[in-house]
Each structure stands twice: as structure tokens, then as C-alpha cells.
Structure 1
Amino acid sequence: MSTPDHQSPLPDASRPEAKDRIYRSPAGIAGGALLLFIAGWLGVDALVSGTGRTPWLALAALILVVPLVAAFTLRPAVYANEDRLRIRNPLRVIVLPWSKVASLRSSYSNEVVDTDGTKYQLWAVPVSLRARKKVAKHQGRAATGSRGVEGRMAGMGRPSPFDRGAVADAPTRSQTDQAMDDLRGLAEARAHEPQAQGEVTVRWAYEVIGPAIAGAVVLAILIATG
């Protein structure tokens, strides 16, 4: 995808800021909250009732574990508006103007590929093979039920109230697949718009990496000197 004008457009101060669509993983958030609760419970118990080096080991472990658990479960999110796609992964934040999005792919993971061929995984939109199978199974049952009711009603000489609308009510895509379809639609519709031009930016999440490294160093020192 390219734009005819190689110069970046000047920002329009009068244009209201585009509202983000936010995509996150409910299962990831629930799992992260549970893990943080368990880690906090065990860690605080060790800090309060532990003896000798135990409280220090518990504190170092908490400093290491809590940021990483939060980063890989609670932190991931995908923000999309009319101008750009912003991906908040566990350790990086990637911002891609729609003009730089070459494709959005789904296989065993969902990922975006920029115009330079670099791939970025969408941690907040995980692929669920189980959800895909569930949707396919539901569609099959709806179609079978529709044919069965239509056959019985036809045999009685009456029109069937269970028509194609019933099959249309069955979900046709899993939640994450539908999210990818939405993002593809935005990419195709907005790629050539002046506001969707720019360069890809990548920022490391030092607010996660820093505490995790500090906790790992302290924990290693305590273990080594124990």
C-alpha cells in the first residue's frame, strides 16, 4: 500500500481525535487476575510470616513475577481507529498507520505484516481453534434443524416458520476472527487517506522490563549468596 504523496500530511487541529476500537482477551484478563491473586497471597504471606531470608526472597520474586504476569495477561490490547493501528504487546508497543499495513493474517496466531515485511503478533487477539469448531458445530446444527422443520411443515401442507433467517442467526465467525475481519476492513478502507499516512513506530515497554530485570538480579544475588 502506498500513497501518491510522499510527504507526511500536516496534522489538522480542527479535526476531532478519532475514537479507538479496543480489542482485548477476556480469558487472558481473567487468567492474569487469578495468577496475580495467587502470587500476591503467597508473597504477602511469606513477607509477613517468613523468617530469615524468606521475606527478601519473596519480595524479589514478587518484583520479578508480578510485572511479567501482568504484561502477558492484563497488558495486551489492540487499539484501532480511522488513522492507525496501535498494538500493545507484553514487551512492546507498535503503532502502524493504515498506509503501512500490508496484511492481517490468521493461522495459529493473529498477526499484522507491514509494508516492509515485518510481522507483529496480536497478543490481545489470540486464535481459538476451539471457538472456530464451536461456531462450525453451531452452524451445522442450525442448518440441520432448519431442513428438518421445513420438511415436516411441508409434509403437513403448511409453510415453514423456520426459514433461512434462523440459519442466518447462527454465528458465522468466532469472536477473534470477527475482530480480524473488522481490522482488515479498516485497513482496506483507510489505507490511502491522508490522515492514515506516516511511519511505523516501536517502543519497548521499559516499565515492564525494568522491574522484571531488577527482581531477577536481586533474586539471583540472594540465591547465589545463600
Structure 2
Amino acid sequence: MKQVFRSTLATVVGWVWMAFAAFNAVDLIARYSGQASMVAAAVLGVLTALVFVTCLRPAVILSEDGVRVRNPLRNAFVPWRAVDEVTVSHSITIISGGGRVRCWVPQASARERAAAARRGRSASAPVPARGRFRTEPVRSKGERAAAEALAGKTHADWVAEQITERAEAARRAASMAEASKAAGASTAPGTPAATGTPAEPGAGTTAGVEAGTGTGTGAGALKVTWAPSALAAFAVAALPVVAAFLA
């Protein structure tokens, strides 16, 4: 199952700016007045590229193969079995082997932390007793369970838990598959374990390599690359800048 996590506020701001930039671009074309219009177009293009890479691009995507992190200028991918640890401070950090990637979104601000702490205190408070003069609504069992699950947690904490749980589930599934494969190989007809005949030289080494397939370096590792869409956005924004200098 694919899950995509973004910043709702940043996404709304980004699309509002895109609509504003499109309107102004049409106006600049319709009322072109030489160098002044080119300078305005250059400023508009640079600001639009910045808004795109900081508001619309960043996301954390959980797929079947692993977790993909889209930061403003870089893309990172970590296979599930290569996720060693996930930590949360003001942002989520995924540790894999000797590398780490910090997620641009979602982030936990001090205000959100304080709100999460208040939710935690309210969730742990005793449920008001039903009475004749009860003024506070009594939450249902499902509402109380949801409140307790989110008590004291920010959105970043919840996303980090999703990443950790899916990584652990992938490692458990891989371990079970390897154990099943090893058990099937040991009981297969004609193998030394089944017939009791001495194994040929090197046979044990070959079996060990096959049983270990998919672990260690085969599990993959953190891969970080430049984001083509971000580079393209800045390349397009550079065009009116160059034109403004040449005009």
C-alpha cells in the first residue's frame, strides 16, 4: 500500500502561489514593457521555483519496496530492510547503515509539541461520570481509543511510527522467507542432509551463500540523488534572469 505524507499548509500555500504566479505571468505577457517586465518576470520565476521546491516537492512516500524521501533538492530511497532506526526531533531522521536522511516534511514545531502534550493529558484524564447534571459529553470507546493512540504524539511522530512498523514487518517477512527456503533446501531429495552421504567439497559453502541471499549488502542501502524536477525548475527560472540581463 502506498502512502504519501506532505505538509497540508505548505501544499495549500504552494498552489495559491502557483495560481498567483500564473495570473501575473499572463499579465506581464499582455502588458510587456521591455526591461522592466523582464526584471519582474525574473523575480517571479525565481520565487516560483523556490516555492515549488520548498512547498510542493517535499514528501515522504511509503511504497511496497521502501521509503522514498523527497526533499527540496534531493531524493532519497531506503529499502525497508535497510532501515536501521527512525528518530524524531523537530523533523524525522531515517538512519541506514552509515548514512542518514532528514525529512523536510512533516515537521514538529514547538506549538505542535505543546498541543500534543495537552492531548496526552486530556486522554489520561478520568472519563466524567454519567450523572443527572453532566455537562461534558462522554466519548465512545472508539473515540477514547483513538485519543489514547494519538496522545502526546505529533504528526511527525505518527509518520515515524508507520515507517518503523513497516520496516520491522518487512524484516520479519524476509526472515520467515529465508527460514522457509532453508528448510526446503535441507529436506529436498538428493541433498546430503537427506541421503546421509558425504557432501562434495565446496557444497557447504555454496549452500551457505544461497541461504544468505537477500541479507547484508543484498538488502540495499540508502541512496541519495539530485532531484531532476528541482534542477529543471531552477533552470527554467534562470531563463528570464538571463534575459533580463541581456535586455
**Normalising by the residue count of structure 2, what TM-score does the alignment of the two structures yield?**
0.66
1:83 is aligned to 2:105: no
Which of 66, 69, 90 is equivalent to 1:108?
90
C-alpha separation in 2, matches of 1:109 and 1:69: 20
Q: CA deviation at 1:167?
A: 4.5
1:177 is aligned to 2:199: no
| CA 1:143–1:222: 2 relative to 1, 3 Å | same
Contact 1:75 1:90 in 2 (8 A): yes
Deviates more, 1:194-203 or 1:68-77: 194-203
C-alpha separation in 1, matches of 2:28 and 2:61: 39
DSSP 3-state at the match of 1:123? strand
Contact 2:6 2:105 in 1 (8 A): yes
- What is the aligned partner in structure 1 of residue 8 from structure 2? 26
Q: CA deviation at 1:213?
A: 4.1
Deviates more, 1:210-219 or 1:23-32: 210-219
- What is the aligned partner in structure 1 of residue 194 from structure 2? none
Contact 2:42 2:240 in 1 (8 A): yes
Q: CA deviation at 1:53?
A: 1.0
C-alpha separation in 1, matches of 2:93 and 2:24: 36
| CA 1:63–1:168: 2 relative to 1, 3 Å | same
Contact 2:41 2:240 in 1 (8 A): no
TM-superposition CA deviations, 1:12-32 (whole Å, max 9, x none): xxxxxxx32222221110111
DSSP 3-state at the match of 1:96? strand
Structure 1: gaps of 5 or more residues:
1-18
- What is the aligned partner in structure 1 of residue 227 from structure 2? 205
Q: How does 1:208-223 map to 2 (within 5 A)?
A: 208-213=230-235, 215-216=237-238, 218-219=240-241, 222-223=244-245
1:135 is aligned to 2:135: no
Structure of greater Rg: 2
- One-letter amino acid matched to 1:110: I
**Normalising by the residue count of structure 1, what TM-score does the alignment of the two structures yield?**
0.71
| CA 1:190–1:36: 2 relative to 1, 3 Å | same
TM-superposition CA deviations, 1:145-179 (whole Å, max 9, x none): 62xx33x85xx9xxxx9599464442322333211
Deviates more, 1:70-79 or 1:36-45: 36-45
Q: CA deviation at 1:208?
A: 2.0
DSSP 3-state at the match of 1:51? coil
- One-letter amino acid matched to 2:168: E
DSSP 3-state at the match of 1:105? strand
Q: What is the alpha-carbon root mean square deviation over aligned residues?
A: 3.1
TM-superposition CA deviations, 1:119-169 (whole Å, max 9, x none): 2121232223323322322343454462xx33x85xx9xxxx959946444
Q: How does 1:52-201 map to 2 (within 5 A)?
A: 52-116=34-98, 118-144=99-125, 146=127, 149-150=128-129, 165=141, 167-170=144-147, 171-172=150-151, 173-191=153-171, 193=174, 194=214, 197-201=219-223
Deviates more, 1:97-106 or 1:168-177: 168-177
More helix by share: 2
TM-superposition CA deviations, 1:79-113 (whole Å, max 9, x none): 21343111122211111112322211111221212
Number of aligned residue pairs: give it: 197
Over the matched positions of the two proteins, sequence identity in percent amounts to 25
| CA 1:217–1:48: 2 relative to 1, 3 Å | closer
| CA 1:221–1:197: 2 relative to 1, 3 Å | same
- One-letter amino acid matched to 1:84: G
C-alpha separation in 2, matches of 1:164 and 1:222: 63
Structure 2: gaps of 5 or more residues:
175-213
